[in-house]
Structure 1
């Protein structure tokens, strides 16, 4: 479980208190600058020195973990990841496996399992600088998932992703959300920020809506209402019900 207790990042986010439970997919929504990235950085133990409050993982303050322990207990996909120069796709994933002892037979099996839904088979042997932004993003997602896959990392507790759907086509957006849901079902606490409110409501177990650094709403997808969207995003929407799903459409 990931716990925030009065977490503050000066001029960015807070105070925020709440829990992201193991076995659940928590999706963060909110306008640009609302504090999503700062909250995820705090959850990863990557906050600047002015971060205040407490963040705990599995009941232990993040400050009590060494960097090596953090690398085994959690993985984070940053919004603007820097790719190593001159590597091929499979070498990028090999780097993700380093904290787990390198590319084992079990790690290779996980890489093969991720290749299908993320469309990686044609990317593994290509130079990273020859790939499109979306292709690079899919490899980065795979590397992040590999680091905390329970099949090769029994210490894994937390998966964090900052805008993992950015640059992806619709097919791979949906594939990524299904993978995140699957990793949550395998016992991880999974927390990701996304911009598509309808996808958040469809796939999330829990939704956190941030506004001006504060939690404007949190809970199941039903907490996202037209009134909240109007207040936070300054957009008027109407709700349609289709096959048990709520779809929000902007009003003209």
Structure 2
């Protein structure tokens, strides 16, 4: 479990608090510039902050970089590296140190993730030969290898900053299946997301940010309140039920 208490980052993120349970999927939502990336970067331990972030009963500041890498994985919004590598080589760089002594399990997990993300036919291609969607799926595979429980017994948390942005609708569906599989193994997933209907369908809880302020935090049905969303996003939001499932419609 992770406890966040009075976390703040200068004027970019005003103090906020929340808890995250094992196996829980939390979406961080809000307009552009609301502080989503700042929050995720801070709880990944990659940004100076005020307040407390406690992971596995230890303040984040007290972990070494190596210990932090064992416990959480962070997929940022980033371009591909300048150097070119084969996909298989790139994936190998994300393997936990202990996993390299269990090559059978590594091969099994890599095969499972590559097949799930439809990159199993791209393992021997250079990363600069990949489309944007292919590269994002390779990055997702790599970040999951870092904290996959059968390869890393210390894994606790997966942090994703707008992971669906480069993906088409079919690839996006693969992403959410992968996230469900990660959470089902007991890891906490915290991610930013712009598709509020995906949040309505796939998240357990949501955090709504606006101009660095946490406007709401809790169950998805409560946070995705049409009146509140209309105010924060400055557009009309309505909620309807279609074929038995709730859906948000925007002006």
TM-score w.r.t. the length of structure 1 is: 0.94
Deviations 1:125-181 (A, max 9, x none): 111111111111100011011111111111101111111101101111111112112
Residues 7 and 17 in structure 1, CA contact (< 8 A), matched pair in contact too = yes
- Give the stretch that moved more between structures: 203-212 or 99-108: 99-108
Inter-partner Cα distance in structure 2 for 1:235 and 1:117: 37
Inter-partner Cα distance in structure 2 for 1:155 and 1:88: 28
Partner of residue 103, structure 2: 104
User: How do 1:232-247 residues align onto structure 2 when only pairs under 5 Å count?
Assistant: 232-247=232-247
Inter-partner Cα distance in structure 2 for 1:208 and 1:175: 23
Partner of residue 54, structure 2: 56
Partner of residue 24, structure 1: 24
2:227 aligned with 1:227: yes
Inter-partner Cα distance in structure 1 for 2:107 and 2:11: 43
Partner of residue 78, structure 1: 76
Residues 2 and 43 in structure 1, CA contact (< 8 A), matched pair in contact too = no
Deviations 1:200-242 (A, max 9, x none): 1100011111111121111121020111111111110221212
Inter-partner Cα distance in structure 1 for 2:31 and 2:110: 34
Residues 27 and 207 in structure 2, CA contact (< 8 A), matched pair in contact too = yes
Residues 27 and 200 in structure 1, CA contact (< 8 A), matched pair in contact too = yes
2:213 aligned with 1:208: no
Inter-partner Cα distance in structure 2 for 1:228 and 1:92: 43
1:173 alignment partner, SS class = helix
Residues 2 and 57 in structure 1, CA contact (< 8 A), matched pair in contact too = yes
Number of corresponding residues = 249
Residues 99 and 151 in structure 2, CA contact (< 8 A), matched pair in contact too = no
TM-score w.r.t. the length of structure 2 is: 0.95
Gapped regions of structure 2 (runs ≥ 5): none
1:96 alignment partner, SS class = coil
2:34 aligned with 1:34: yes
Inter-partner Cα distance in structure 1 for 2:135 and 2:54: 31
Residues 99 and 106 in structure 2, CA contact (< 8 A), matched pair in contact too = no
Partner of residue 167, structure 2: 168
